Amino acid sequence: MYIPGGAEDAVLILDRLETHFKVRTKPFARPLSVHAVDDVSLAIRKGETVAVVGESGSGKTTLGRTAVRLIEPTGGRVLYDGQDITHTKMKNLMWLRRKTQIVPQDPYASVNPAFTVFKILEEPLIVHHEGTTEEREDRVHKALESVKLIPPDIFERKFAHMLSGGQRQRVAVARAMILDPELIIADEPVSMLDASVRVSILDLLRQIQTDRRVAFLYITHDLATARHFANRIAVMYAGKLAELGPVGSVLAEPLHPYTQALMAAIPDPDPENRFRKIAALPGEPPSLVSPPSGCRFHPRCPIARQGLCEVEVPALRELRPGHFVACHLAV
Ligand code: SF4
Protein backbone atom coordinates (compact mmCIF):
# COMPACT_ATOMS: atom_id res chain seq x y z
CA MET A 1 0.00 0.00 0.00
CA TYR A 2 1.44 3.37 -1.01
CA ILE A 3 -0.15 6.50 0.50
CA PRO A 4 1.26 9.85 -0.65
CA GLY A 5 2.43 11.79 2.40
CA GLY A 6 2.61 8.59 4.49
CA ALA A 7 0.11 6.89 6.79
CA GLU A 8 1.85 6.93 10.20
CA ASP A 9 -0.50 7.68 13.09
CA ALA A 10 -3.42 7.73 10.64
CA VAL A 11 -6.98 7.60 11.89
CA LEU A 12 -8.31 7.08 8.36
CA ILE A 13 -6.61 5.66 5.29
CA LEU A 14 -8.12 5.68 1.82
CA ASP A 15 -6.20 3.25 -0.34
CA ARG A 16 -6.79 3.60 -4.09
CA LEU A 17 -10.42 4.42 -3.37
CA GLU A 18 -12.94 4.34 -6.22
CA THR A 19 -16.60 5.29 -6.16
CA HIS A 20 -18.47 4.87 -9.42
CA PHE A 21 -22.23 5.15 -9.96
CA LYS A 22 -24.56 4.14 -12.74
CA VAL A 23 -27.02 6.86 -13.72
CA ARG A 24 -29.76 6.99 -16.36
CA THR A 25 -30.37 10.37 -17.93
CA LYS A 26 -33.74 9.16 -19.36
CA PRO A 27 -35.99 6.20 -18.62
CA PHE A 28 -34.81 3.14 -20.60
CA ALA A 29 -31.62 4.92 -21.68
CA ARG A 30 -28.37 3.01 -21.28
CA PRO A 31 -26.96 3.74 -17.81
CA LEU A 32 -23.87 5.94 -17.78
CA SER A 33 -20.99 5.34 -15.44
CA VAL A 34 -20.12 8.31 -13.20
CA HIS A 35 -16.54 8.17 -11.94
CA ALA A 36 -17.01 10.34 -8.85
CA VAL A 37 -13.84 9.17 -7.09
CA ASP A 38 -11.05 7.52 -9.04
CA ASP A 39 -7.98 5.95 -7.51
CA VAL A 40 -7.62 8.36 -4.56
CA SER A 41 -5.07 7.48 -1.85
CA LEU A 42 -4.97 9.70 1.21
CA ALA A 43 -4.42 9.39 4.97
CA ILE A 44 -5.69 11.63 7.76
CA ARG A 45 -3.56 11.56 10.89
CA LYS A 46 -4.91 11.84 14.41
CA GLY A 47 -5.67 15.48 15.17
CA GLU A 48 -4.93 16.60 11.62
CA THR A 49 -7.15 18.62 9.29
CA VAL A 50 -7.00 17.78 5.61
CA ALA A 51 -8.95 20.18 3.39
CA VAL A 52 -10.32 18.60 0.22
CA VAL A 53 -10.75 21.42 -2.25
CA GLY A 54 -12.40 21.44 -5.67
CA GLU A 55 -15.28 22.73 -7.80
CA SER A 56 -18.80 21.29 -7.66
CA GLY A 57 -18.62 17.94 -9.40
CA SER A 58 -15.01 17.28 -8.45
CA GLY A 59 -16.04 14.30 -6.31
CA LYS A 60 -15.02 15.77 -2.94
CA THR A 61 -18.37 15.22 -1.18
CA THR A 62 -18.57 11.64 -2.52
CA LEU A 63 -15.03 11.09 -1.23
CA GLY A 64 -16.04 12.26 2.26
CA ARG A 65 -19.18 10.11 2.33
CA THR A 66 -17.37 7.03 1.00
CA ALA A 67 -14.66 7.52 3.63
CA VAL A 68 -17.21 6.84 6.39
CA ARG A 69 -19.13 4.20 4.41
CA LEU A 70 -22.22 6.34 3.85
CA ILE A 71 -21.62 5.42 0.19
CA GLU A 72 -20.29 2.03 -0.80
CA PRO A 73 -16.89 2.15 -2.50
CA THR A 74 -16.57 0.47 -5.89
CA GLY A 75 -12.90 -0.31 -5.45
CA GLY A 76 -9.94 0.22 -3.17
CA ARG A 77 -9.99 0.11 0.63
CA VAL A 78 -11.05 2.19 3.63
CA LEU A 79 -9.06 1.61 6.82
CA TYR A 80 -10.09 3.10 10.15
CA ASP A 81 -7.46 2.93 12.92
CA GLY A 82 -5.70 0.30 10.80
CA GLN A 83 -8.83 -1.87 10.50
CA ASP A 84 -10.13 -2.60 7.01
CA ILE A 85 -13.81 -1.57 7.03
CA THR A 86 -14.34 -1.56 3.26
CA HIS A 87 -16.76 -4.49 3.30
CA THR A 88 -17.79 -4.59 6.97
CA LYS A 89 -21.56 -5.02 7.29
CA MET A 90 -23.45 -1.89 8.37
CA LYS A 91 -24.83 -3.54 11.50
CA ASN A 92 -21.22 -4.05 12.64
CA LEU A 93 -20.31 -0.40 12.09
CA MET A 94 -22.14 1.23 15.02
CA TRP A 95 -18.74 1.99 16.59
CA LEU A 96 -17.76 3.85 13.41
CA ARG A 97 -20.92 5.98 13.57
CA ARG A 98 -19.81 6.98 17.07
CA LYS A 99 -16.19 7.70 16.21
CA THR A 100 -16.91 9.64 13.02
CA GLN A 101 -19.38 12.48 12.74
CA ILE A 102 -20.52 14.85 10.02
CA VAL A 103 -21.00 18.60 10.17
CA PRO A 104 -23.26 19.26 7.18
CA GLN A 105 -23.36 22.19 4.81
CA ASP A 106 -26.85 23.41 5.56
CA PRO A 107 -27.37 24.50 9.16
CA TYR A 108 -31.11 24.97 8.40
CA ALA A 109 -31.65 21.39 7.23
CA SER A 110 -29.24 19.78 9.66
CA VAL A 111 -31.38 20.15 12.78
CA ASN A 112 -34.89 18.84 13.42
CA PRO A 113 -37.27 21.87 13.59
CA ALA A 114 -39.60 20.05 16.00
CA PHE A 115 -36.83 19.42 18.55
CA THR A 116 -35.45 21.80 21.13
CA VAL A 117 -31.69 22.24 21.11
CA PHE A 118 -31.54 20.01 24.18
CA LYS A 119 -33.29 17.16 22.37
CA ILE A 120 -31.15 17.62 19.25
CA LEU A 121 -28.01 17.19 21.36
CA GLU A 122 -29.34 14.46 23.63
CA GLU A 123 -30.53 12.23 20.76
CA PRO A 124 -27.11 10.81 19.72
CA LEU A 125 -26.38 10.01 23.39
CA ILE A 126 -29.64 8.06 23.67
CA VAL A 127 -29.04 6.23 20.35
CA HIS A 128 -25.61 5.13 21.58
CA HIS A 129 -26.88 4.31 25.13
CA GLU A 130 -24.63 6.90 26.77
CA GLY A 131 -25.06 7.92 30.42
CA THR A 132 -27.96 8.44 32.81
CA THR A 133 -30.49 11.27 32.35
CA GLU A 134 -28.42 13.54 34.65
CA GLU A 135 -25.16 12.68 32.89
CA ARG A 136 -26.74 13.41 29.51
CA GLU A 137 -27.97 16.79 30.80
CA ASP A 138 -24.47 17.59 31.96
CA ARG A 139 -22.94 16.60 28.62
CA VAL A 140 -25.46 18.72 26.68
CA HIS A 141 -24.58 21.73 28.86
CA LYS A 142 -20.85 21.19 28.36
CA ALA A 143 -21.31 20.73 24.59
CA LEU A 144 -23.20 24.03 24.36
CA GLU A 145 -20.52 25.82 26.39
CA SER A 146 -17.80 24.37 24.16
CA VAL A 147 -19.42 25.93 21.06
CA LYS A 148 -19.96 29.23 22.92
CA LEU A 149 -23.75 29.01 23.10
CA ILE A 150 -23.88 30.56 26.56
CA PRO A 151 -25.77 30.43 28.88
CA PRO A 152 -26.57 26.80 27.94
CA ASP A 153 -29.81 26.62 29.94
CA ILE A 154 -31.26 29.41 27.75
CA PHE A 155 -30.07 27.94 24.42
CA GLU A 156 -31.13 24.38 25.21
CA ARG A 157 -34.79 25.46 25.41
CA LYS A 158 -34.78 27.12 21.97
CA PHE A 159 -36.01 25.63 18.70
CA ALA A 160 -34.00 25.86 15.46
CA HIS A 161 -36.16 28.68 14.03
CA MET A 162 -35.24 30.83 17.05
CA LEU A 163 -31.52 30.65 16.18
CA SER A 164 -29.40 32.53 13.65
CA GLY A 165 -27.59 30.57 10.88
CA GLY A 166 -24.31 30.78 12.80
CA GLN A 167 -25.96 29.58 16.03
CA ARG A 168 -27.56 26.64 14.17
CA GLN A 169 -24.20 25.66 12.76
CA ARG A 170 -22.78 25.83 16.32
CA VAL A 171 -25.56 23.44 17.39
CA ALA A 172 -24.58 21.14 14.47
CA VAL A 173 -20.94 21.28 15.66
CA ALA A 174 -21.99 20.55 19.28
CA ARG A 175 -24.06 17.58 18.04
CA ALA A 176 -21.08 16.25 16.10
CA MET A 177 -18.81 16.67 19.15
CA ILE A 178 -21.07 15.27 21.86
CA LEU A 179 -19.97 11.66 21.31
CA ASP A 180 -16.27 12.64 21.45
CA PRO A 181 -15.51 11.53 17.88
CA GLU A 182 -12.01 10.98 16.50
CA LEU A 183 -12.85 12.18 13.01
CA ILE A 184 -15.26 14.80 11.69
CA ILE A 185 -16.26 15.16 8.06
CA ALA A 186 -17.09 18.85 7.72
CA ASP A 187 -18.81 19.23 4.34
CA GLU A 188 -18.79 22.91 3.30
CA PRO A 189 -19.74 23.86 6.89
CA VAL A 190 -19.49 27.62 6.32
CA SER A 191 -20.53 28.03 2.68
CA MET A 192 -24.13 29.02 3.55
CA LEU A 193 -23.17 31.46 6.28
CA ASP A 194 -22.57 35.21 6.09
CA ALA A 195 -18.95 36.20 5.62
CA SER A 196 -18.88 37.75 9.11
CA VAL A 197 -19.93 34.43 10.72
CA ARG A 198 -17.70 32.17 8.59
CA VAL A 199 -14.44 33.03 10.29
CA SER A 200 -15.90 32.55 13.78
CA ILE A 201 -17.16 29.03 12.90
CA LEU A 202 -13.79 28.13 11.33
CA ASP A 203 -12.03 29.45 14.45
CA LEU A 204 -14.34 27.29 16.56
CA LEU A 205 -13.53 24.18 14.50
CA ARG A 206 -9.81 24.92 14.78
CA GLN A 207 -10.13 25.35 18.55
CA ILE A 208 -11.86 21.96 18.78
CA GLN A 209 -9.15 20.38 16.64
CA THR A 210 -6.42 21.76 18.93
CA ASP A 211 -8.14 21.11 22.29
CA ARG A 212 -9.48 17.63 21.59
CA ARG A 213 -7.09 16.36 18.92
CA VAL A 214 -9.97 15.57 16.57
CA ALA A 215 -9.09 14.91 12.93
CA PHE A 216 -11.07 16.76 10.26
CA LEU A 217 -11.76 16.08 6.63
CA TYR A 218 -12.75 19.59 5.64
CA ILE A 219 -14.55 19.66 2.29
CA THR A 220 -14.72 23.02 0.55
CA HIS A 221 -14.78 24.67 -2.86
CA ASP A 222 -13.01 27.68 -1.42
CA LEU A 223 -9.23 27.49 -1.08
CA ALA A 224 -9.26 30.74 0.92
CA THR A 225 -11.11 29.16 3.87
CA ALA A 226 -8.84 26.09 3.81
CA ARG A 227 -5.90 28.26 4.82
CA HIS A 228 -7.72 29.23 8.06
CA PHE A 229 -8.02 25.77 9.36
CA ALA A 230 -6.20 22.99 7.46
CA ASN A 231 -2.79 21.37 7.99
CA ARG A 232 -2.76 19.84 4.51
CA ILE A 233 -4.67 20.51 1.32
CA ALA A 234 -5.80 17.91 -1.21
CA VAL A 235 -6.98 19.46 -4.48
CA MET A 236 -9.42 17.29 -6.42
CA TYR A 237 -10.28 17.60 -10.07
CA ALA A 238 -12.85 15.38 -11.82
CA GLY A 239 -12.59 12.62 -9.23
CA LYS A 240 -8.80 12.53 -8.99
CA LEU A 241 -6.21 14.11 -6.73
CA ALA A 242 -4.42 16.89 -8.59
CA GLU A 243 -2.23 18.14 -5.74
CA LEU A 244 -1.60 17.29 -2.10
CA GLY A 245 0.66 18.92 0.42
CA PRO A 246 1.16 20.99 3.57
CA VAL A 247 -1.04 24.08 3.51
CA GLY A 248 1.93 26.49 3.57
CA SER A 249 3.67 24.76 0.69
CA VAL A 250 0.57 24.42 -1.53
CA LEU A 251 -0.52 28.03 -0.98
CA ALA A 252 2.99 29.51 -1.30
CA GLU A 253 3.86 27.49 -4.39
CA PRO A 254 0.91 25.79 -6.09
CA LEU A 255 2.40 23.36 -8.61
CA HIS A 256 -0.68 22.21 -10.55
CA PRO A 257 -2.19 24.60 -13.12
CA TYR A 258 -5.64 23.97 -11.61
CA THR A 259 -4.47 24.91 -8.09
CA GLN A 260 -2.82 27.98 -9.61
CA ALA A 261 -6.23 28.96 -11.09
CA LEU A 262 -7.86 28.45 -7.67
CA MET A 263 -5.16 30.61 -6.08
CA ALA A 264 -5.52 33.35 -8.69
CA ALA A 265 -9.19 33.71 -7.71
CA ILE A 266 -8.45 34.17 -3.98
CA PRO A 267 -7.87 37.97 -3.96
CA ASP A 268 -11.55 38.46 -4.82
CA PRO A 269 -13.21 39.02 -1.42
CA ASP A 270 -16.53 37.49 -2.53
CA PRO A 271 -16.43 33.66 -2.43
CA GLU A 272 -19.21 33.44 -5.05
CA ASN A 273 -17.14 35.58 -7.43
CA ARG A 274 -14.13 33.38 -6.71
CA PHE A 275 -16.20 30.37 -7.66
CA ARG A 276 -17.45 32.05 -10.85
CA LYS A 277 -13.88 32.91 -11.88
CA ILE A 278 -12.84 29.28 -11.55
CA ALA A 279 -15.94 28.11 -13.42
CA ALA A 280 -14.94 30.57 -16.19
CA LEU A 281 -11.69 28.72 -16.92
CA PRO A 282 -11.45 27.90 -20.61
CA GLY A 283 -13.07 24.66 -21.76
CA GLU A 284 -15.81 22.60 -20.17
CA PRO A 285 -16.00 22.11 -16.38
CA PRO A 286 -15.03 18.63 -15.22
CA SER A 287 -17.31 15.80 -16.29
CA LEU A 288 -17.52 12.75 -14.09
CA VAL A 289 -19.71 10.89 -16.60
CA SER A 290 -17.17 10.61 -19.37
CA PRO A 291 -13.90 11.96 -18.02
CA PRO A 292 -11.36 12.78 -20.72
CA SER A 293 -8.49 10.38 -21.27
CA GLY A 294 -5.00 11.29 -20.13
CA CYS A 295 -4.88 14.18 -17.66
CA ARG A 296 -8.47 15.09 -16.80
CA PHE A 297 -7.57 18.77 -16.70
CA HIS A 298 -6.14 18.86 -20.24
CA PRO A 299 -9.23 20.35 -21.99
CA ARG A 300 -8.92 23.42 -19.72
CA CYS A 301 -5.20 23.50 -19.08
CA PRO A 302 -3.38 26.58 -20.42
CA ILE A 303 -0.06 24.71 -20.68
CA ALA A 304 -1.24 21.27 -21.88
CA ARG A 305 1.28 19.57 -24.15
CA GLN A 306 -0.22 17.93 -27.22
CA GLY A 307 0.63 14.29 -27.66
CA LEU A 308 1.31 13.86 -23.96
CA CYS A 309 -1.37 15.35 -21.71
CA GLU A 310 -4.40 13.91 -23.55
CA VAL A 311 -2.77 10.48 -23.71
CA GLU A 312 -1.02 9.72 -20.44
CA VAL A 313 -2.52 9.93 -16.97
CA PRO A 314 -0.05 11.91 -14.82
CA ALA A 315 1.13 10.15 -11.67
CA LEU A 316 1.15 11.93 -8.32
CA ARG A 317 4.83 12.82 -7.82
CA GLU A 318 6.53 14.28 -4.73
CA LEU A 319 8.27 17.43 -5.94
CA ARG A 320 8.76 19.12 -2.55
CA PRO A 321 8.87 17.47 0.89
CA GLY A 322 5.35 16.09 1.43
CA HIS A 323 4.06 18.07 -1.56
CA PHE A 324 2.71 15.95 -4.43
CA VAL A 325 1.37 16.94 -7.83
CA ALA A 326 -0.22 15.03 -10.70
CA CYS A 327 1.08 17.01 -13.67
CA HIS A 328 3.55 15.87 -16.36
CA LEU A 329 5.08 19.33 -16.63
CA ALA A 330 5.32 20.42 -13.00
CA VAL A 331 8.92 20.76 -11.75
FE1 SF4 B 1 -1.89 20.54 -17.74
FE2 SF4 B 1 -0.67 18.43 -18.82
FE3 SF4 B 1 -0.17 19.12 -16.31
FE4 SF4 B 1 -2.50 18.08 -16.96
S5 SF4 B 1 -0.54 17.06 -17.08
S6 SF4 B 1 -2.17 19.81 -15.66
S7 SF4 B 1 -2.84 18.97 -18.96
S8 SF4 B 1 0.29 20.31 -18.12
| Contact between 60 and 219 (Cβ < 8 Å) | yes
pLDDT confidence of residue 45: 96
pLDDT confidence of residue 267: 62
309 lines ligand 1 (CB under 6 A): yes
Fold type of domain 10-23+35-288: Rossmann fold (3.40.50)
pLDDT confidence of residue 270: 60
Does residue 60 surpass a pLDDT of 70? yes
- Nearest CA, atom 7, ligand 1: 298
pLDDT confidence of residue 27: 78
> CA–CA separation, 11 vs 182, rounded Å?
8
Does residue 287 surpass a pLDDT of 80? no
pLDDT tier at 290 (50, 70, 90 boundaries)? low
| Contact between 326 and 4 (Cβ < 8 Å) | no
pLDDT confidence of residue 220: 92
Does residue 274 surpass a pLDDT of 80? no
> CA–CA separation, 197 vs 202, rounded Å?
9
Mean pLDDT of the chain: 89
pLDDT confidence of residue 278: 59
295 lines ligand 1 (CB under 6 A): yes
pLDDT tier at 269 (50, 70, 90 boundaries)? low
Question: How far, in Å, from the CA of 317 to the mean position of ligand 1?
Answer: 13
The predicted model gives 230-257 an average pLDDT of: 95
- Nearest CA, atom 5, ligand 1: 327
Question: How far, in Å, from the CA of 22 to the mean position of ligand 1?
Answer: 28
237 lines ligand 1 (CB under 6 A): no
297 lines ligand 1 (CB under 6 A): yes
Q: What is the pLDDT of residues 206-238, one digit of tens each?
A: 888 888 889 999 999 888 888 878 999 999 999
pLDDT tier at 263 (50, 70, 90 boundaries)? confident
- The distance in angstroms from the start CA to the end CA of the chain is 25
> CA–CA separation, 27 vs 305, rounded Å?
40
Question: How far, in Å, from the CA of 296 to the mean position of ligand 1?
Answer: 8
Q: Which atom of ligand 1 is nearest to the CA of 314?
A: 5
pTM: 0.90
| Contact between 143 and 178 (Cβ < 8 Å) | yes
pLDDT confidence of residue 37: 94
Q: Label residue 306 exposed, middle or buried (CB < 10 Å: 0-12, 13-18, 19+).
A: exposed
Helix (H) or strand (E) holding 219: strand 215-220
Q: Among the residues of 59-194, which ranges form H helices?
A: 60-67, 94-99, 117-127, 133-146, 152-155, 165-177
63 lines ligand 1 (CB under 6 A): no
Paired residues of 186 in beta bridges: 103, 218
Question: How far, in Å, from the CA of 330 to the mean position of ligand 1?
Answer: 8
Q: Which atom of ligand 1 is nearest to the CA of 308?
A: 2
Q: Which residue has the higher pLDDT, 203 or 109?
A: 203
Lowest mean pLDDT among 129-133, 268-272, 290-294: 268-272
Paired residues of 241 in beta bridges: 236
Q: What is the pLDDT of residues 157-200, one digit of tens each?
A: 999 889 888 899 999 999 999 999 999 999 988 888 888 888 88
